[in-house]
């Protein structure tokens, strides 16, 4: 195993108090979950950690974890002792590198001052709050339950605990106006955080939101308005000292970037623990069975919870290299492109979609216009 590749852990906590109407993640409310107790979650993850350690030993892989990320779902629905226990289990089995980033996603209404202090004492270094919007009416459309007025308090409590803080926002919610989006951007300015993620709302098939739009109860998101919202966000964040380093992410500096997400975008190795979690290791990706009950049955028997997997082809690997590299401000080197598409570089510069590689150390880097049309750029560089 190449020592130059980092190794990370993702822990999927599939529990939510309320299922948000736009979400198609592998999550469950208490009334939906059958055959697996939330209180047994850490035991199930412990069992998969043992399975993973054995496989890593067979590969002769002794790398420590560079990053750990608890996502969901709502990880902070678990008792803080459960999250801290899992951090300790990962440290015992794999080692966690000195200075590693350990992140927990949280809803603003699911953590107290004591909870945040306990996270920090247990080895967590960073918390990512799912704020989504500062406007109650917009949150209601998204089925979010937290009170936005409480966000400054929980951010302050997290900082007092010594945690780095990131904020997640969503723009383009049906019915959301530019004025309302500006209110969310004003909240970010008030919070003065070092990292923000802002995602364009995507209406996923099969979600409650998709059904409401299909029935005419809500308008479909306006892609032109979403583009204007992105431009407004980028301008506002830049004025706050936050620069984009990935299409949907802005940070104060390199030290405050999400190192865990960078590991994904740089195609590093990670093991995903939990029901439905995805992994990538030794050139192969796989994903676990989705239902927590099926997951529990397998891992408690000492069996792999893997549902299926694949080894990307050369063509797929090339596509992913361009797709992921295009998302980053650092871009990727022109030499990484197939010779058949090199003629597109000049045209993309002419169209204002990428910077001139000669001024970017020979790298392909999107302009602001190019960020809005990133998918089109990828198509031109891969076909």
- The pLDDT of residue 80 is 97
Residue showing tokens 């902070």: 76
Sketch the domain layout of the chain as residue ranges: 7-265, 314-382
- The pLDDT of residue 101 is 98
**Type and span of the H or E element at 185:** helix 178-191
- The pLDDT of residue 10 is 98
Q: Are 129 and 286 in contact (CB under 8 A)?
A: no
pLDDT of the chain along its 383 residues, tens only? Answer: 556 899 999 999 998 776 676 666 667 765 566 767 888 999 999 999 999 999 999 999 999 999 999 998 899 999 999 999 999 999 999 999 999 999 999 999 989 999 999 999 999 999 999 999 999 999 999 988 889 999 999 999 999 999 999 999 999 999 999 999 999 999 999 999 999 999 999 988 888 888 999 999 999 999 999 999 999 999 999 999 999 999 999 999 999 999 999 999 999 999 999 999 999 998 999 999 999 999 999 999 999 999 999 999 999 999 999 999 999 999 999 999 999 999 999 999 999 999 999 999 999 999 999 999 999 999 999 98
For residue 232, CA distances in Å to 96, 184, 236, 247, 361 come to 39, 11, 6, 14, 29
* CA atoms of 193 and 204, how far apart (whole Å): 30
293 exposed, middle or buried (CB, 10 Å; 0-12, 13-18, 19+)?
middle
- CATH superfamily placement of domain 7-265: Aldolase class I (3.20.20.70)
- The pLDDT of residue 31 is 58
- The pLDDT of residue 25 is 64
- The pLDDT of residue 286 is 98
Residue showing tokens 């676990």: 288
154 Cβ contact list (under 8 Å, min separation 6): 106, 108, 111, 116, 129
**269 bridge partner residues:** 7
Half-sphere CA count of 250, side-chain side, radius 13 A: 25
Strands 243-246 and 269-273, bridge-based pairing: unpaired
Residue showing tokens 């893997």: 306
Reading phi first (left if > 0) and then psi (alpha if -120 to 50, else beta), residue 331 is in left
pTM of the model: 0.94
């Amino acid at each position: 195993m190449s020592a130059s590749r980092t190794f990370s852990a993702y822990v999927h906590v599939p529990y939510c108090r309320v299922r948000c109407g736009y979400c198609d993640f592998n999550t469950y409310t208490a009334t939906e979950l059958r055959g697996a107790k939330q209180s047994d979650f850490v035991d199930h993850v412990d069992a998969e950690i043992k399975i993973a350690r054995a496989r890593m030993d067979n590969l002769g892989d002794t790398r420590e974890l560079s990053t750990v990320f608890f996502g969901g779902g709502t990880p902070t629905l678990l008792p803080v002792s459960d999250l801290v226990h899992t951090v300790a289990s990962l440290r015992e089995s794999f080692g966690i590198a000195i200075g590693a980033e350990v992140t927990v996603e949280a809803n603003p209404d699911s953590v107290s001052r004591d909870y945040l202090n306990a996270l920090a004492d247990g080895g967590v270094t960073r918390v990512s709050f799912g704020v989504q919007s500062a406007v109650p009416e917009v949150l209601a459309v998204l089925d979010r339950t937290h009170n936005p007025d409480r966000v400054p308090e929980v951010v302050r409590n997290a900082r007092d605990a010594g945690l780095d803080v990131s904020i997640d926002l969503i723009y383009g919610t049906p019915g959301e106006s530019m004025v309302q989006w500006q209110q969310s951007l004003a909240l970010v300015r008030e919070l003065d955080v070092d990292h923000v993620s802002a995602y364009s709302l995507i209406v996923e098939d099969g979600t409650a939101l998709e059904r409401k739009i299909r029935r005419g109860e809500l308008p479909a998101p306006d892609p032109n308005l979403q583009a204007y919202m992105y431009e407004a966000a980028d301008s506002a964040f830049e004025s706050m000292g936050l620069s984009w380093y990935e299409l949907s992410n802005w940070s104060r500096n390199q030290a405050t970037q999400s190192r865990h997400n960078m590991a994904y975008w740089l195609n590093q190795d990670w093991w995903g623990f939990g029901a439905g979690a995805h992994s990538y290791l030794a050139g192969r990706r796989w994903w676990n069975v989705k239902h927590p009950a099926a997951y529990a049955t397998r891992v408690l028997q000492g069996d792999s919870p893997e549902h299926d997997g694949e080894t990307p082809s050369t063509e797929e690997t090339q596509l992913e290299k361009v797709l992921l590299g295009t998302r980053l401000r650092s871009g990727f080197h022109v030499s990484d492109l197939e010779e058949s598409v090199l003629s597109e570089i000049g045209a993309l510069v002419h169209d204002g979609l990428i910077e001139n590689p000669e001024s970017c150390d020979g790298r392909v880097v999107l302009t602001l216009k190019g960020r809005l049309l990133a998918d089109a750029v990828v198509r031109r560089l891969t076909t």
